[in-house]
């Protein structure tokens, strides 16, 4: 087995994506399903429900009375907000720990993920695209590959950093040059294993190299921008820092300018407390 | 004690036992000010150059922008007894992504805004560490007035 195959093989060590969340996402995409059906799907998972209720009852959401069930949470927070909390909790269970190879402390990768997900909504509002729980999910898990690549990046940390410093290549390129695979590609492998739709797999595979995507450009571009703006803002910035490439073609595609980037950052800045409320490290 | 300054946030303090720290500065800029006589220090972590992009948000949180945050940082330090002619200013942050053609150069614009505001007010920068692709952490030690800078993945050094 080659070194790259050994790395890809580690994907099988990850727990499967929670089946109830998958069912809920499928129901959400089905126009004939009701909120009640989705709540019923989720409520039998006690760990997930407990986590959702804890976040709903945090000071940020400012509910007058505490909620004790998902039904109540839907009434007080609305369905879409409940789903955001639900999905963020799932990403936390997979990405909440420290990722030392990237110099990220516990909760930092999670914070970056939740920020990217909120940015995906901020951006889709601006470019007048439909707000899609699938895109929100893609933004939440786009960096899952870092969790597995972590050990290898740590081992080769000096070589990778040196390549970035002396050759001026992106951190992604340095990962690929040194390890034979980068975190975006590894993320895509993981998500393929979870049987996610092709659109999501593409968006995640090309989240640093959007111009290489040959299909699903809309999803790819939106995830690219969501991640990039979270990186610019510095949220969950690690050893890779801002060593990623900017592609103005993506901006032209949506007729966006530099002021739009600033507005996106300001809107995210406005939601930092929401991010903090959603990532309650247990 | 350690007080954390969040993103789009500020702290001013005159308790020498305190350290002010701000994490993960990307294109944002951290401004540390210190008056060694009054032993007053302040740290601002702003995100964007100009408040005119969103005046409503600037009113809600002036620390988000250079043009509204920097004056407040100084004003608050004066309120604690700092004097303008004694204040030492050190700044860090303003990183850039690669292949930047201008759309994403918030770091550069953040730095230009800072320079403009300080220059207009006759205030010099004593030390700075700006640009590059790194993620930075900045810490101001109120007992000594020293500012410590850490690049992600590297050891802390004095600025």
All residues of chain B having their beta carbon less than 8 Å from the beta carbon of residue A272 are 6-8
Helix or strand or coil: residue B144? coil
- Chain B residues 86-145 with a CB less than 8 Å from chain A: 95-107, 109, 132-135
Q: Is A80 on the interface with B (CB under 8 A)?
A: no
Question: How far is the alpha carbon of A75 from chain B, nearest alpha carbon, in Å?
Answer: 28
> Which has the minimum average pLDDT: A92-106, B58-72, B111-125?
A92-106
Residue B99: pLDDT band with limits 50, 70, 90 = confident
- Total domains in chain B come to 1
pLDDT given at position A82: 81
Mean pLDDT, chain B, rounded, equals: 95
Query: Residue B64 and residue A266: Cβ atoms within 8 Å?
Result: yes
Query: Residue B7 and residue A168: Cβ atoms within 8 Å?
Result: no
**Is the model's pLDDT at B11 over the cut of 70?**
yes
Query: Residue A266 and residue B48: Cβ atoms within 8 Å?
Result: yes
Q: Which helix (H) or strand (E) holds A103?
A: none
Query: Shortest CB distance from B24 goes to which of A234, A248, A270?
Result: A234
Six token digits for residue A180: 């034979």
Question: How far is the alpha carbon of A42 from chain B, nearest alpha carbon, in Å?
Answer: 34
Query: Shortest CB distance from A266 goes to which of B57, B100, B103?
Result: B57
d(Cα A222, Cα B113) in Å, to the nearest integer?
29
d(Cα B43, Cα B21) in Å, to the nearest integer?
8
Q: What percentage of chain B has pLDDT greater than the value 90? A: 94
d(Cα A118, Cα A268) in Å, to the nearest integer?
7
The set of residues, in sequence order, having a beta carbon less than 8 Å from that of A282 and lying 6+ positions away, is none
pLDDT given at position A278: 84
Question: How far is the alpha carbon of B86 from chain A, nearest alpha carbon, in Å?
Answer: 31
Which residues span the domain enclosing A50? Answer: 3-278
Query: Shortest CB distance from A266 goes to which of B24, B54, B105?
Result: B54
Q: How many residues does chain A have?
A: 282
Q: Identify the sign of the CA torsion A231, A232, A237, A239.
A: positive
Question: How far is the alpha carbon of A132 from chain B, nearest alpha carbon, in Å?
Answer: 25
User: Is B28 a known active-site residue?
Assistant: yes
Closest to A212 in 3D by CA, of A242, A250, A176:
A250
Q: Which of A235, A237, A248 to mutate to test the interface with B (most CBs of B within 10 A)?
A: A237
All residues of chain B having their beta carbon less than 8 Å from the beta carbon of residue A242 are 26-27, 95-98, 107, 133-135
Burial of A74 per CB tally in 10 Å (0-12, 13-18, 19+):
buried
> Which has the minimum average pLDDT: A111-115, A130-134, B26-30, B92-96?
A130-134
pLDDT given at position A236: 85
* DSSP per residue, A5-59: HHHHHGGGGSPPPPHHHHHHHHHHT-TT--HHHHHHHHHT-HHHHHHHHHHHTSG
* Cβ–Cβ under 8 Å, residues B64 and B73: no
Q: Read off the CATH number of the domain in which B21 is found.
A: 3.30.1330.200
**Is the model's pLDDT at B13 over the cut of 70?**
yes
All residues of chain B having their beta carbon less than 8 Å from the beta carbon of residue A259 are 53
In the sheet that holds B88-93, the strands lie side by side as B9-13, B40-46, B29-35, B88-93, B127-130
Query: Closest residue of B to A172, CA-based?
Result: B98
Burial A224-260 (b: 16+ CB within 10 A, else e): bbbbbbbbbbbbbbbbbbbbbbbbeebbeebebeeeb
Q: Between A and B, how many residue pairs show a Cβ–Cβ distance under 8 A?
A: 125
Q: Read off the CATH number of the domain in which A143 is found.
A: 1.10.3210.10
pLDDT given at position A281: 52
- Total domains in chain A come to 1
Query: Residue A258 and residue B100: Cβ atoms within 8 Å?
Result: no
Q: Which helix (H) or strand (E) holds B67?
A: helix B66-79
d(Cα B129, Cα B93) in Å, to the nearest integer?
7
pLDDT given at position A84: 84
Query: Residue A242 and residue B6: Cβ atoms within 8 Å?
Result: no
Query: Shortest CB distance from B152 goes to which of A103, A248, A266?
Result: A103
Residues of chain A with pLDDT under 50: 282
Q: What is the pLDDT of residues A231-241, one digit of tens each?
A: 999 998 899 99
pLDDT given at position A154: 95
Question: How far is the alpha carbon of A141 from chain B, nearest alpha carbon, in Å?
Answer: 21
Which residues span the domain enclosing B48? Answer: 2-158
Query: Residue A261 and residue B104: Cβ atoms within 8 Å?
Result: yes
All residues of chain B having their beta carbon less than 8 Å from the beta carbon of residue A244 are 97-98
């Amino acid at each position: 087995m080659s070194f790259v195959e050994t790395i890809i093989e580690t994907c099988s060590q990850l727990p499967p994506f929670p089946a109830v969340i998958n069912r809920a996402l499928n129901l959400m995409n089905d126009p004939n399903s009701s909120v009640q059906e989705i709540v019923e799907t989720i409520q039998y998972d006690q760990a997930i429900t407990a986590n959702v209720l804890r976040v709903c009852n945090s000071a940020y959401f400012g509910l007058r009375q505490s909620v004790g069930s998902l039904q109540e949470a839907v009434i007080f927070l609305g369905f879409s907000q409940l789903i955001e909390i639900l999905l963020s909790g799932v990403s936390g269970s997979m990405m909440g720990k420290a990722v030392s190879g990237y110099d990220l402390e516990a909760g930092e990768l999670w914070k970056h993920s939740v920020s990217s997900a909120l940015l995906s909504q901020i951006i889709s509002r601006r470019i007048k695209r439909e707000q899609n729980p699938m895109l929100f999910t893609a933004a939440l898990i786009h960096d899952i590959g870092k969790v597995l690549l972590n050990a290898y990046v740590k081992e080769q940390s000096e070589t990778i950093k040196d390549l970035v410093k002396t050759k001026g290549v992106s951190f992604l390129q340095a990962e690929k040059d040194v390890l034979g695979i980068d975190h975006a590609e590894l993320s895509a492998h993981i998500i393929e294993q979870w049987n996610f739709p092709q659109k999501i797999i593409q968006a995640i595979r090309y989240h640093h190299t959007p111009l290489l995507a040959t299909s699903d450009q809309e999803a790819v571009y939106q995830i690219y921008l969501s991640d990039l703006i979270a990186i610019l803002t510095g949220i969950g910035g690690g050893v890779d820092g801002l060593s990623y490439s900017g592609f103005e073609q993506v901006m032209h595609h949506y007729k966006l300018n530099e002021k739009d980037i600033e507005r996106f950052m300001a809107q995210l800045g406005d939601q930092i407390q929401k991010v903090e409320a959603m990532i309650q490290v247990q | 004690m350690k007080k954390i300054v969040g993103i789009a946030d500020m702290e001013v303090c005159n308790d020498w036992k305190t350290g002010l720290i701000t994490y993960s500065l990307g294109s944002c800029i951290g401004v540390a000010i210190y008056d060694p006589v009054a032993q007053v220090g302040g740290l601002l972590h702003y995100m964007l150059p100009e408040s005119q992009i969103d005046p409503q948000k600037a009113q809600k949180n002036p620390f988000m922008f250079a043009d509204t945050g920097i004056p407040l940082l100084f004003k608050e330090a004066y309120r604690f007894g700092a004097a303008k002619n004694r204040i030492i200013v050190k700044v860090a942050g303003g990183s850039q992504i690669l292949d930047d053609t201008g759309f994403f150069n918030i770091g550069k614009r953040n730095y230009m805004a800072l320079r403009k505001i300080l220059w207009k007010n006759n205030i010099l920068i004593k030390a700075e560490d700006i640009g590059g692709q790194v993620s930075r952490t900045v810490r101001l030690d109120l007992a000594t007035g020293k500012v410590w800078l850490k690049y992600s993945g590297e050891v802390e050094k004095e600025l």
